[in-house]
Structures are given as C-alpha cells and as structure tokens.
Chains A and B, each alone.
Chain A
Amino acid sequence: MAPETVKNTASFIKIVALSVIAGAAIASRLFAVINFESIIHEFDPWFNYRATRVLASKGFYEFWNWFDPTAWYPLGRVVGGTIFPGLMATSGVIFNFLRAIHLPVDIRNVCVMLAPAFSGLTAWSTYMFTREMKDESAGLLAAILIGIAPGYISRSVAGSYDNEAIAIFLLMFTFYLWIKALKQGSAFFGTMAAIFYFYMVAAWGGYVFITNMIPLHALVLVLMGRYSSRLYVGYSSWYAVGTLASMQVPFVGFQPVTTSEHMAALGVFGLLQLVAFTELVRSHVSSKQFQTLLRTAAVTIGLLGFVAVVVLTMKGWIAPWTGRFYSLWDTGYAKKHIPIIASVSEHQPTAWPAFFADLHILIFIFPVGVLLCFQKLRDEHVFVIIYAIMASYFAGVMVRLMLTLTPVVCVAAAIAISTLLDTYIDPQEPESTEVAPTTTSEATGSSTAAPKEPKTKSKESKAPKTGLFGLDTRLAVIFNTFFLMLIFVLHCTWTTSHAYSSPSVVLASRAADGSSAVIDDFREAYYWLRQNTPKDAVVMSWWDYGYQIAGMADRPTLVDNNTWNNTHIATVGKAFASSEENAYPLLKKHDVSYVLVLLGSLIQYSGDDLNKFLWMIRIASGVWPDEVKETDFFTPRGEFRVDEHATKTMSESLMYKMSYYRFQELFGPGQAQDRVRNQKLPTVGPTLDYFDEAFTSENWIVRIYEVKPDDELGRDHKTANAYSAGKKRKKGRVARRRFALE
C-alpha cells in the first residue's frame, strides 16, 4: 500500500476508535437512567437544575441579576454573583441550539445528559493530551481509560448535573493547550489555553488547581534551567489573557489579584519577566561579572517580591489562605475550626480501598507511567510528573479530589501500557546472537529525539541492540495485559452500575427474597409540601436538603447546600439542639412554618438526621458555646444514646422529639427499636407541644411538622395543651399582693 493510503486508513481508524470510545463513555453513564429514570441526582445538581431553568426561561440577563428570596430566608441569595455560571450557560446554549434546529428537548433531559456528553469530550481531550506525551496509540488508550474509569464516572453519570461534569473536560483541554503552547512557544495556543481557562473559571471552583499547576510547571522548568522563549511566550500569554478573563466572572471578581491562592501565578509571571530580562541582557553583554551581578539582582528582586507579597498578606491587602485551603494541608484543621466543612462526607480523607475501587489496576500501573516520564523528561513530561504528585496528595486528603487524580492516572497508565505493548508487539528481533536480557527493555530510541515523532525512531535504527526473541514471551505478556484490561473493563462496569448510579433521591432496596423495591420517600414528602402548603411557607431542615426542597418542593428554606453563612446554619443547628420552648421563638423569628427531619430508624437508612446531629451540635456550639454544649448530649460514659439512657438534653431536644414522635406506636409495647443505631427506644415516646405532625412518608424517612401559630390567648403552648387535655393548672401566682396591715 502506498504510504498515503496507510496514513488515511490509520486516521480513519483513529476517528472510528475515538467515536466508539466516546460512545462507550456515554453508554456506561446511562445505568442511572436505565435503572431508575431520567432524574437529577443528589443535592447540588438540584440547584444547578433550578438555576438552569431560570436561565432557560428568563434569559441570561435575568439570570445574571437573579436574587433568590426563597433561599437562606430571610437573607436571600444573590445567585448571579455567588455561582459559577459555566454549567448553566452551557446547558442554556445547548438547549437554545436544539430549539433553534427544531428539536424540542426538555431542559431536564439536557441537564441529565450533559455529563455523559461531556465525558465523551473528556475522552477526546485526554487523547489529545496523551498524544503530546507519547503518541497516538497511547492517546487512544488514555481515552478509553478515562472514558470508563470509575473515579471520573462517580461524578459524571447521567443526572449528576454538577460543575465537575464539564470541568474535567475543561481541565484536560486547558492542560493540552498549555502543553501545546509550551512546546511550540505559540501565543495562539497560550491564548486558547487562557480562553479555556476562563471557561473553567466560569464552571468550577477547582480552577484554582490549574491556576497553581501551570505556574508550578513553569517554575520547575525555570529551576531546572530549562527556561526558553517558548515558555516565556506560552506562560505570559496564558497568564495575562487568562487572568483578565477570569476576573470577568462575578463570583471571582478581584480574587486573582487579591487572594493568596492566586499569588503563585502572579509571582511566577513576575519571575519569568525577570528571567527573560536577564537572558536578554546576557545575550547582549559578555562580561562575566555583569552576569553575576544581574543574577544577584534577579534573585534579590525575586525575594523582594516574595517579601512584598507576605507583607501585603499580613496587612490584609491580600486575603490569606481560606480555611478550605488549610484543610488540604492539615486534615485535622477543618474538624477543629470549620466543622461545617468537616461535616461533609466527601471532604473526608480517602480510604485506601477507595483508590482501588475508583481506579482498579490503573493505580498500580500509574507509577510505571510516571517513571517512564522521568526517563524521557521533556518539558511536557515534567508537567505530568508534577500533576501526578500534586493530585496524588490531594486525592489522599479529600475523597472528592479523587476526581482530579483520575485523568493523570489514566494518562500515566496509558503511557506505561502503550510502552509495554509497543515493546512486545514490535515484530523486530535484535540481530545480535547474545542472550537477550529477560527484563523489559526500552524500545524507543535515543532520548535526544525530536519531541514530535517519538514512534518512528525505533524504526530508524533498523536493528536494535536489545530486544525480544520469540513469540511465546511476547504472547504471554500481551495476553496478560489484555486480560488485565478486560478485568478492568468488567470492574468499571460493575462499579458504575452498582455504586455510582444511584440518584440518592430515589433509593433502591433489596428484599430478602432478592426482589428489589424502590424507596421514594423523598419525592413523596417534597411533593406533599409542594401541594399542601402555602407558596410562601418557610421550611426548616438541615442544610443537606435545602437544594432539594427548593428544587422539588419549591418552598423557601432557611439554609441550603451553599453553606455560605455559618451563623445561619448554626441557628438551625441550635434550634434542633434546643428544647421545644427554646426553639419555638427562634423558629417564629425566622417565620418558619414547617420543619422537616429525616429518620432512618425504620428501614435502616443510615444517612438520617440523628446521625448528623452531632455535627449540628458542633456547628451550633461553635457560634453559641454557652447555649449548646456537646457534652450535654453524651451520657456520662461518653456514649451517644437515644434509648432510655439518653441524657435529658438529648431527649428534650427538638431533633430527638421530632424523630421519635409516635415512633413507638409502630411497635408493640416496649418493642420499639432503632435499627440504625441498634438501640431499644424508651417505652413512652416523646410528646410535642409546639408542633403538629403534618406528614410522615411511607417508610418514615421524611417527617414534616407544622409549627403551631401563637396561642389564641397568648399562653405558651405547653399550658394551652395541658388545659385542652383537661389537666389542672397550678395555681397562678399573683403578681402583686397586699397584706391587710401593711
């Protein structure tokens, strides 16, 4: 065949392969839709979905200026200025485009399918990125790995309509463009990187990762003595355009020039100018002393700049690191200082099995790929190495950052596997008659080769000195690799369908006989609220359910998953931790009409409010240390109990009473059992004076209580109820009394 035909056929196969990979990536994310339905998942996506609907129905400017009076009642939320609008804007554009070509798609389906669609793009961008690292075959391998890796699927199944859905694509594509800009020294690719960086800034708070990765890469290159005009052009064009662009996002505003998180990028930008200036002068001046002087000057200026940043931070001109940032370095920090961050399960340190569950064999191949990068160590390989180190650390600190680790693991593993296969599939045998080494040897040629075509090199030197003899060794390794890959695919499919496809709004349970049942208590309760309460009835619940109440029940909430106001959340925690008569004025002050609590005691749903109660107490006692004390809720032996040994504070707290109100009636006398905490409940259940039970869902997961209005006669409700129940009143004390002979 003519080389032209080979080339055409190869590129055709490549396109077909990429399409199939994208198809597989999308298809494996559809388990959620097939097993359940086309529904928005979890918590945050409900807000994104609601915001997207506003964007789609009212247009961009209304969305930009959207003030949501129903969130954080009565503080309200300036939505336009407190979100990353990238996700909603993307869906809005797609929705409007589909409408323009007369495809009347429901906005919900656009939102549900957005994450799978973008996972296809992620596969493509990972292909592009890896191609820059090694070659096209490694790229295709990386594409299929990222396409089905559970670490990425966990946040991008159909219905998981969150910022991460598009952010990973943007992350990889920005990195690809940065590598391209660096390799070619191209201002065009630098600017393209900046534009996609802007898109990333508009889409996800994790953009800070890019903001620090690229400068770190540049800094390491400079320190390695690899400064070049390519680096200068690439970095400067990225930084200047990218920073200016990112400041256009209202939520980010002036942060790129005022907060510590962004100072590294600014500092490296300054350093590059200094280095560039030094290089310029050096190329014009020959005097050796002058060069030394210049270097000293450069170092001094660099140090001065660093000191200036420190001083500005101390003075408060530059905002210090935020708490979330500290919690990345000190895993105990959040628990001590910001319980609200520590209380989120996805902010916990990652357990070791999670790495295997999310990445399977890739986690073992990953170090090999990094090692291979060390072998070649071109500029772009330095990037992969830095990325691997940083992301590994972060993934170990926080479960949710497993997401940023997954792409680099896929890239490194693809490089490793591709190198392995290159070596073993390569049909050439060494010409020497010496006994070949049994260990794997390097197949590629000299490391000084041009970066663009690493693959052709092995063919240039027709007869390599080292290599493999015979077919059996080759086949053994190749089959083994294929077998591992096959296991990997099976594992990904299994994990995706079993662990990551639950919408968490709808729960699936399996009965003893194997039949599955759907537990739909959440929607049942939210729709009850929607249909049976006035439109302006404020619902109080723990913040986890804020977005869902707003999205599904369409009612104002006190707090929601956008945890911007710690005091307001602490107020809710305090209300739940207080006794009825203390909580009542607090609820009245906030115009609360309904209180919603979750109880898993009946069907062993462990994510209920009593299990979160300690966090509520902790958050509340952080604001009111004198009124809410954590120790009051523990028995003298330090146990958190709900049975008859529960402390008085515990059994009188609103949360306890609301959870177990009338719960005992479900069981025979003395039989009441809490199946989540495995404790036997007291025979006599709690009574409520200030609240009426309004709704309890089928499996008792969601319980809704109505706050009674003020008593008609101005009494407190305890007295009022006692009178209605016919109890005798203690004789009232007379305010003023007179004795006869006074």
Chain B
Amino acid sequence: MLSLRALWASLIALSTLCAATSSSGSRVLVVLEPALAKDSFSTFFNGLEARGYDLTFRAPKEERPLLVEYDVPNYDHVIYFAPSTKSFASDLAPQSLLPLLQKKTNLLIALSPTLTPMTSFAAEFGLVLPPPETPLMSHFPSRKGPLDTLQIPLPADSSILTSGTAPILFKGINFAMSPNPMLFPIINAPPESFATDTIKDDEADILVESSLKGGEGLWAGSSMGVVAGFQTKSGARVAWVGSVDVFSDKFVNGKLADGQKAGNEVAAQDIAKWAFQESLVLRIDSVEHHRVGETEPRETYTINDKVVYTLTVSKFVSSTSKWEPYSGISDLQLEFTMLDPHIRTSLKPVKGQPGKYETTLRVPDRHGVFKFVVDHRRKGWTSLYTATTVPVVPPRHDEYPRFLSAAWPYYAGAISTSVGFILFSALWLGGAVGEKTKQKTQ
C-alpha cells in the first residue's frame, strides 16, 4: 500500500511538473490530413495549447514522428482529423491503435461520410455507421444555410458538456450504437434528423427507395448519436465525433438560426477535456480493511467477524491540476464475493472526511477465499474497480465457545457416569472386604 501511495505521489509530482491540465499527460499527436488546413482549426488547437498541451502535427502518411517507439507510446493523446484518409502509415493504422489503448493512450477521432479504415474500426467499438456518403440532414429549425449543416441542441443533463452552452453547428454523419456498456452518447442527433443520400428535397424518392432497400430503414431520430464516448477496460478514452467541422473555426464563429453564436468552441473543448482525461477522472487512492476495533488488516478473517472496509477516492481537478478527495459518489457499492456476492452493501461517504467511503459488514458464516470488490461504472466517469482477496477461515481450535448450554445433557451424562463409577468402585471394594472378612470369620 505504501509503494502504491509513493507511486501516486510521484505521478502527481510528474503531472504538476508537466503543467498540463490532463491527468494522464500533455503530449498530443494531431493526425491532420493534408486536405485540412491547420489554420482552419486554430481556435480549437489554440485552446488546447492554452491549457498546456504540446501539439505535434503529422500527416496520415508521414512516417515520423513515431507514435510508438520500443513499445512505449510517445504521445498521451492522439487526435485523428483525417476523416477522408483511405490509408495510414503503419503505426497510425487503426489496427495498431488497439495495443495503444491498452497503454492508456486516448483518442479523439473525427468521422465523415467517406468510407475509410476508421469506418471498420468504429464497428469494433460498437458504433454502427450509416452507409457511406449519407450525411446527416434536417429541415428543422428552418434556416438559410444548407440542409446538411445542422444545429444540434446539447443535452441539458450532460456531465461532460458545460451546461447552458448554445446549440452547436454540425455537418457530418450520425451513427447507431450497440448496447456495449462501455459506449455512451455524448450528443445525440436531433429527433428530426436523418441520414440521406441526397440533400436535395426534390430527390426525396431516392431516399425512400434506398431506405426500403435491404430493409435497413431510415437512419434517423434521436437515438442516433453524433458524438459518442468510449472508455476501454484499462481506462483509456475514445471520443467519436461524426464531423470534423464541429472543431473548425468556421463553425466556431458560425451563427445559429436565431442569430446567437454557436456553442462549438465550448463543446469542442469539453469533448477534448473528457477524452484527454481532464474531466470526470476518478481514482482509488487506498483500500483498507480491518476488524472492528483494530487498525491493521488481517491476513485472514474468521467467519462472523465484523470488518470495516474503507475506500478513498480522489477526483482530478483540471483547473488546479491536482487530485482532490471526492465524496460526491452517492451510489458506491461494495461486494463481498466468493463465486457469487455473499454481501452487497452501499459504501457511504464518511462525514467530515472527504474522499472516504466506509462500511462495516459481518463476514458471512462460510469459509473460503473471498474478495472485496468495488466495481463502479458510470457513463463518462472513470470506472473504479478494486478487488482485494482475503481468505475467510473457520475459528481456530481455541476460538470456539468452551461451554454450550445445548450440551448440558452431555455434561450431566459425563458427570453422572463418573460419580456412578466412583460410588460403584467404593461399594465394590468395601463389599469385597466385607465378604472376605465374613469368609474368614466363617
């Protein structure tokens, strides 16, 4: 436990040294396809640099700088602004990104209606993209611009996006999402929007025809997403954005139908903040367990022991780049499992001790190798998982109660037999002497 703390301490020191606002590092590789000018995203990139990120730019087919060297990633985050690139350099190809995710490198990937290697890569994350070249369009609200430039209101209850942000401008694709629990929508498509083969209204027949073909139906409605987040098992984050234009200066400075400025600048930074482990980042600082009335953990617990389990959780605060104790989780649960949970109880925050969650439980009347398991997964938040193995043993030979009231019949039996034996012996011996003397006298 001590070494773990030391590790965390050094990590914290490291992160402050880097002066970045992310909890996992500040090196960002931007894969920018030549068709897109770096300057057209200046607001977004400047915003990132202002928050302390070091951006490195690289075209998809360039060989250098390498993303991974000697199995060690050179960058903590990768932005893929290459929505219509058909082939990548070998270390940037989607298949080589999977091992990268295991090393906790975060990705922000922009998609487009074009069929690219990223299309099949998205399928691995449970995203189901519409047929190629079918951009999203909507007639609502009525506006002057082209129909495939939508304005999408942001969800009010999102923990990732800043609340009160104006709707964003969007030009790209929507996608369906499989029920993979690691995947969740950040921004949904508007209810009236749909993917279309043509954006001209007088060619609507084509749309109806193609939607009936193959029984696929229309890719429409608010259950589709346009921005989705994915947290991998090891905690890396991937943000899938259906449009690269969301980040562009043109949209950032664009006007909505009601003349209001679009919310793209804030929303783009919010998405990047989430993807780069700035917001909603939690960690477990320490796990402690011990018997009630003791302070040190035991190697084994005896059945029916009363055990206190304490968990300390911190949250990363990007404004100060510091980890701070966090008591805001109200639904943390602790399981005490052996094959199946024997006990499932809530871990309540301790009043007056920020970051501490504690519960007291009675170890079940069952010996075996148990695990304290905390498995907290909430959409957007870092998943918290810890499993501590403790054997639960039966009482030692001298830990059983010495006298049982249920055993009184046995005690009585033993005592009466002993007394009877002594009396019998005494009588027998006495009787024998008497007989002998009788015989002698006779």
Spell out A's residues near B (CB within 8 Å): 61, 64-65, 67, 69, 73-76, 78, 80-81, 536, 589-590, 709-715, 719-720, 723-724, 726, 728-729, 732-740
Contact = CB atoms under 8 A, between A and B. Distances in A.
Nearest to B221: A738
A67 B391 contact: yes
Given A76-B369, A713-B182, A714-B181, A740 B208 contact: yes
A67 B302 CA distance: 11
17 contacts: A67-B391, A69-B300, A74-B369, A76-B368, A76-B369, A709-B233, A712-B233, A713-B98, A713-B182, A713-B230, A714-B182, A714-B233, A724-B98, A732-B128, A738-B220, A738-B221, A740-B220
A349 to B, nearest CB: 37
B120 to A, nearest CB: 7
A723 B95 contact: yes
B258 interface: no
A78 B392 CA distance: 11
A589 B338 CA distance: 9
Contacts of B217: 737-740
A713 B369 contact: no
* Most chain A beta-carbon contacts within 10 A, residue among B102, B123, B389: B123
Contacts of B370: 74
B397 interface: yes
Contacts of B98: 712-713, 724
Given A65-B397, A78-B394, A740-B208, A726 B95 contact: yes
B220 to A, nearest CB: 5
A73 B368 CA distance: 8
A712 B234 contact: yes
A565 to B, nearest CB: 11
Contacts of A735: 176-179
The number of chain B residues touching the other chain, given as a range, is 35 or more
A81 B367 CA distance: 13
Contacts of A714: 126, 180-182, 233
B329 to A, nearest CB: 23
B123 A732 contact: yes
B396 interface: yes
B369 to A, nearest CB: 4
Nearest to A741: B208
A719 B234 CA distance: 19
Contacts of A80: 397
A711 B101 CA distance: 11
B198 to A, nearest CB: 14
Given A715-B124, A734-B128, 19 more contacts: A67-B300, A67-B393, A74-B338, A74-B339, A75-B369, A76-B368, A712-B98, A712-B232, A712-B236, A713-B101, A714-B126, A714-B180, A723-B95, A729-B123, A736-B176, A738-B217, A739-B211, A740-B207, A740-B217
* Most chain B beta-carbon contacts within 10 A, residue among A64, A589, A714, A738: A714
Interface in B386-429: 389, 391-394, 396-397
B391 A69 contact: yes
B84 interface: no
B300 to A, nearest CB: 7
* Most chain A beta-carbon contacts within 10 A, residue among B125, B177, B300, B394: B394
Nearest to A711: B233
B124 A713 contact: yes
Contacts of B223: 736
B168 to A, nearest CB: 23
Interface string B357-400: 00000000001111000000000000000000101111011000
Given A74-B369, A75-B368, A738 B339 contact: no
B397 A734 contact: no
B71 interface: no
B17 to A, nearest CB: 29
A734 B194 CA distance: 15
Contacts of A733: 128
B296 interface: no
B218 interface: yes
A551 to B, nearest CB: 19
A218 B156 CA distance: 91
A712 B369 contact: no
Contacts of A61: 397
B294 interface: no
A713 B220 CA distance: 26
B157 interface: no
Q: What 6 A-B pairs have minimum CB-CB distances, sorted nearest first?
A: A69-B391, A67-B393, A74-B369, A737-B217, A734-B176, A65-B396
Contact of A67 (B101, B207, B221, B394): B394
A735 B178 CA distance: 6
Contacts of A736: 176, 223
A326 B8 CA distance: 62
B216 interface: yes
Given A69-B391, A712-B101, A723-B124, A589 B339 contact: yes
Contacts of A729: 120, 123-124
* Most chain B beta-carbon contacts within 10 A, residue among A64, A73, A536, A735: A735
A65 B393 CA distance: 9
Contact of B367 (A67, A589, A720): A67
A713 B368 contact: no
B195 to A, nearest CB: 11
Contact of A712 (B102, B221, B393): B102
Given A732-B128, A738-B218, A69 B397 contact: no
Interface in B190-242: 194, 207-208, 211, 216-218, 220-221, 223, 230, 232-234, 236
A737 B221 CA distance: 9
A733 B389 CA distance: 40
Contacts of A732: 123, 126, 128, 178
B120 A728 contact: yes
Contacts of B221: 738
A74 B390 CA distance: 10
A470 B27 CA distance: 112
A322 B271 CA distance: 67
A75 B394 CA distance: 12
Contact of A78 (B177, B194, B367, B369): B367
A742 to B, nearest CB: 9
A590 B178 contact: no
* Most chain A beta-carbon contacts within 10 A, residue among B232, B234, B369: B369
Contacts of A734: 128, 176, 216
B391 A737 contact: no
A55 to B, nearest CB: 15
Contacts of A81: 394
Contacts of B177: 735
Contacts of B181: 714
A164 B191 CA distance: 79
B123 A724 contact: no
Contacts of B207: 740
Given A61-B397, A738-B221, A710 B233 contact: yes
A536 B300 contact: no
Contacts of A74: 338-339, 368-370
* Most chain B beta-carbon contacts within 10 A, residue among A589, A709, A711, A738: A738
B341 to A, nearest CB: 12
Contact of A740 (B101, B218, B230): B218
Interface in B298-313: 300
Contacts of A710: 233
Contacts of B126: 713-714, 732
Nearest to B211: A740
A719 B177 CA distance: 17
Contacts of B300: 67, 69
B102 to A, nearest CB: 5
Contacts of B120: 723, 728-729
A153 to B, nearest CB: 38
Contacts of B123: 729, 732
B176 to A, nearest CB: 4
B125 A713 contact: yes
